[in-house]
Amino acid sequence: MAAQQVRGVIAPGKNEPVQIRTILIPDPGPGEAVVKVQACGVCHTDLHYKQGGISDDYPFLLGHEASGVVEAVGEGVTDVEPGDFVILNWRAVCGQCRACLRGRPWYCFNTHNAQQKMTLEDGTELSPALGIGAFADKTLVAAGQCTKVDPSVSPAVAGLLGCGVMAGIGAAINTGGVGRGDSVAVIGCGGVGDAAIAGANLAGAAKIIAVDIDDRKLDKARTMGATHTVNSKETDPVEAIRDLTGGFGADVVIEAVGRPETYKQAFYARDLAGTVVLVGVPTPEMKLELPLLDVFGRGGSLKSSWYGDCLPSRDFPMLVDLHQQGRLDLAAFVTETIELDAVEQAFDRMHQGDVLRSVVVL
Ligand code: APR
Ligand code: ZN
Ligand code: ZN
């Protein structure tokens, strides 16, 4: 069968505006699936691809926070079949790498993507963002990137679990191990930080302190479950968090900005033997300087959270179910739904600070 022609949003070159182009989707080969995309959120990582911050493998097929319906599967695919409603993940675990063999598949070091390439009409191979490429009517992925969830959930809501919202919730519940009665502080209340707040709330944290430099973000954070807010432009966040925790600091502090200053705040705002979770993604030139004696003397653990240390097959269906039961408001993360041709404007709006997520709905 011939490849199918569909629309897709590509980043053609460094800092060039995105374009809607016709892309060719091959039939799924062994272990692959073609998914009809229903919704795809606009994430900072898509913007980083466009800006050249991730690699130079232009053109990129952008979009990676998506849900949709499996249209066709290739040879040997048994976990999903045509008609299944799925969230796309960028952690299709291999089962054979050293992390998987140690029983820690959420760290899998050899995750699967489709083997075949999607292309432009002239045959130019596309690099799909995070091995997904879902700002498109359809996309080709490894079947393991398709995680089945309850099909009655809204596609726009479900897709968000594919990246940013899972990263935040997972930073709290998987990496941070937040439990009932814990005090938690979250520095940076964008989509990821707010998801960490929602995750901490879900896990039964007794106190959830939201820190941001923008009052609008703090107002939103309260609706996500923050019990206290600190504007760190006006107030020293380390002192404020200590004041709110009996003078000691929080049990778990989640850094959802990705900067050395905010990491230091997280480091000193945690109680002795507490946990710092870095989920914000720094840039290559950033350096961290800390007295080594403080690293030793304050004890505890300093962790990074990759994709919320999630295991899609375990976490996506569970979080969708909690949402459907009214116990986790994932819809609150969808600020607006947009058309496929509005991705560039959505990138602009990201910077204005009034959007948690713009979601392309197809
Ligand atoms: N102190 C506190 N908050 C800050 C600071 C600071 N110095 N600088 C920025 N912020 C806040 C912003 O006001 C905003 O609310 O951090 C938030 C960042 O949110 P977004 O830009 O919406 O980013 P988000 O999608 O939440 O991602 C946050 O996690 O996965 C990573 O790559 C992602 O590094 C990014 C981070
Ligand atoms: Zn593996
Ligand atoms: Zn993302």
Main-chain phi, psi angles of 61, to 5 degrees = -95, 110
Judge whether residue 81 has pLDDT over 70.
Answer: yes
Q: CA separation (Å) from 174 to 162, 167, 199, 352?
A: 16, 10, 9, 30
Among all bound ligands, the one having the nearest atom to the CA of 263 is 1
Confidence of residue 352 (pLDDT cuts 50, 70, 90): confident
Q: Find out whether 262 and 231 touch, Cβ atoms under 8 Å.
A: no
Q: Are residues 99 and 26 in the same domain?
A: yes
Among all bound ligands, the one having the nearest atom to the CA of 46 is 3
CATH of residue 294's domain is: 3.40.50.720
Q: Are residues 150 and 193 in the same domain?
A: no
pTM given for the model: 0.96
Domains of the chain: total: 2
Taking only the tens place, the pLDDT of each residue in 130-168 is: 999 999 999 999 999 999 999 999 999 999 999 999 999
Tokens 């899998």 belong to residue: 108
Does residue 89's CB lie within 6 angstroms of at least one atom of ligand 1? no
Main-chain phi, psi angles of 113, to 5 degrees = -130, 170
Judge whether residue 1 has pLDDT over 60.
Answer: no
Mean pLDDT on 70-94: 97
Does residue 281's CB lie within 6 angstroms of at least one atom of ligand 1? yes
Asked if the structure places residue 213 within a domain, the reply is: yes
Q: Which two tokens stand for residue 205?
A: 């944290």
Asked if the structure places residue 143 within a domain, the reply is: yes
Does residue 312's CB lie within 6 angstroms of at least one atom of ligand 1? no
Asked if the structure places residue 288 within a domain, the reply is: yes
> Can you give the residue range of the structural domain that contains 218?
168-305
Of 11, 32, 5, 37, nearest to 116 by C-alpha is 32
Query: Residue 353: what pLDDT?
Result: 78
* Cα separation, 352 vs 278, whole angstroms: 24
Does residue 133's CB lie within 6 angstroms of at least one atom of ligand 1? no
Q: How far does residue 38's CA lie from ligand 2's centre (Å)?
A: 28
Query: Residue 176: what pLDDT?
Result: 98
Strands (E), 175-313: 183-187, 207-212, 228-231, 250-255, 270-278, 301-304
Asked if the structure places residue 316 within a domain, the reply is: no
